Amino acid sequence: MSLQPRPSILSVEPYIGGESKLAGVNRILKLSSNEGPFGPPPKAIEAMTAAALDANRYPDGNATALRAAIGRKFGLDPARIVCGNGSDELLSMLILAYGGEGTELIMSAHGFMMYEITGRWAGCQVIKVPERNLTTDVDGMLAAVGPRTRLMFLANPNNPTGSILPQSEVVRLRAGLREDVLLVLDAAYAEYVTRPDYDAGQTLVDAGSNTVMCRTFSKVFGLGGVRLGWAYGPAGVVDVLNRVRSPFNVNATAQAAGIGALAEEGWIEKSVAHNVAERARVAAALTAAGFTVHPSEGNFLLVGFGDAARAKAADAALKARGAIVRMMGGYGLAECLRITIGLTDENTVVIEALTAFAHDG
């Protein structure tokens, strides 16, 4: 008998990230992975350069200074923050710690793909709950809970749909859950949200023992390449994460970059102002061109082209101008493309390419 992994592993489809190269194109407009468009904050670059000089040393395994800086920035207790090699790592640790064979994990139908990938890896049964207008259906999520449910995921705002649940709905979701189900509030796009009622998760984490919030430096902070995320949870969940994480899970460069990024004055404000203005400009232009632009609270737009063939043709029209966006077939939304909001001139290329496509294509 040949070597075999656990059977559930064979049901996992590998995560395929956004493309970053196009044959024969010099300037790529990479709008496929919801990265911040401005590069890393200058103070993060400085801090990473300085950290490189000490790279013969292991990093601080507890990321003490970084957790203190996060705590100061967001008004949180550093003892209840755990840092990870991207928030992906934290999501995996939570699933492997609380899920596993014989348990169920609940997510919405077009929730972030990694919940399903890691859920299957862990051996959980993954239940995908249909949405309403591409928005999480709280009643459906609660109705899906069974005796074996241990984990529920809500990305708010959600990737790839861009949709958001009002805080009252998140509260209702949390209130309807048993104490032995962990609610993971994935707030990867939190900084971009401008709705006054929005709470990335702090309040609910503090109000109980079974809610955890995950955040990332990959989006608004422009540090996708260093892999840095963090979780804020109740003491019990934090204790579990600290037991299972590998000793030096966040490398020295990432720790330095995070501290530097948090020290960069005005970075979030500048990024959010740009995103709000440019997202509105792209949305208006693509709506005027006749496409379906789904409302988004993130740094990206999900755009519908009617059917899969037309979405594919639109993708080709964008690629012809050097713009790489994300095809959505893997999410069961083959009629859509997900387009990250980039620099102003990059967005203009998207508008021009798709307006021309609407006329000629």
Nearest CA to 314 among 330, 294, 338? 338
Length reported for the chain: 361
Q: Please identify, using beta-carbon distances, which residue of 187 and 353 lies nearer to ligand PMP.
A: 187
Q: Residue 357 is inside which H or E element, if any?
A: helix 344-360
Q: How many CB atoms lie within 10 A of CB 1?
A: 3
- When asked if residue 32 is in the footprint of ligand PMP (CB under 6 A), the reply is no
Q: Which stretch, 84-92, 244-252, 262-270, 339-347, contacts ligand PMP (CB under 6 A)?
A: 84-92
Q: Please identify, using beta-carbon distances, which residue of 159 and 249 lies nearer to ligand PMP.
A: 159
- In contact, 200 and 188? CB cutoff 8 Å: no
Q: Which of 224, 233, 304, 342 binds ligand PMP (CB under 6 A)?
A: 224
Q: Which stretch, 51-59, 82-90, 278-286, 335-343, contacts ligand PMP (CB under 6 A)?
A: 82-90
Instruction: Give CA separation, 1 vs 52, 121, 231, 238, 341, in Å.
Output: 47, 22, 42, 41, 50
- When asked if residue 299 is in the footprint of ligand PMP (CB under 6 A), the reply is no
Residue type, 302: L
Rounded distance between C-alpha atoms, residue 38 and residue 349, angstroms: 17
Q: How far is the CB of 349 from ligand PMP (least distance, A)?
A: 23
- When asked if residue 218 is in the footprint of ligand PMP (CB under 6 A), the reply is yes
- When asked if residue 88 is in the footprint of ligand PMP (CB under 6 A), the reply is yes
Window 185 to 214, contacts with ligand PMP (CB under 6 A): 186, 188
Q: How far is the CB of 112 from ligand PMP (least distance, A)?
A: 4
Q: Residue 58 is inside which H or E element, if any?
A: none
Q: Which of 36, 40, 59, 86 binds ligand PMP (CB under 6 A)?
A: 86
User: Binding residues for ligand PMP, how many (CB under 6 A)?
Assistant: 13
Pairing of strands 336-340, 300-304: antiparallel
Token output for 7: 């059977």
Rounded distance between C-alpha atoms, residue 14 and residue 296, angstroms: 26
- When asked if residue 347 is in the footprint of ligand PMP (CB under 6 A), the reply is no
Q: How far is the CB of 148 from ligand PMP (least distance, A)?
A: 24
Residue ranges binding ligand PMP (CB under 6 A): 34, 86-88, 112, 155, 159, 186, 188, 216, 218, 224, 229
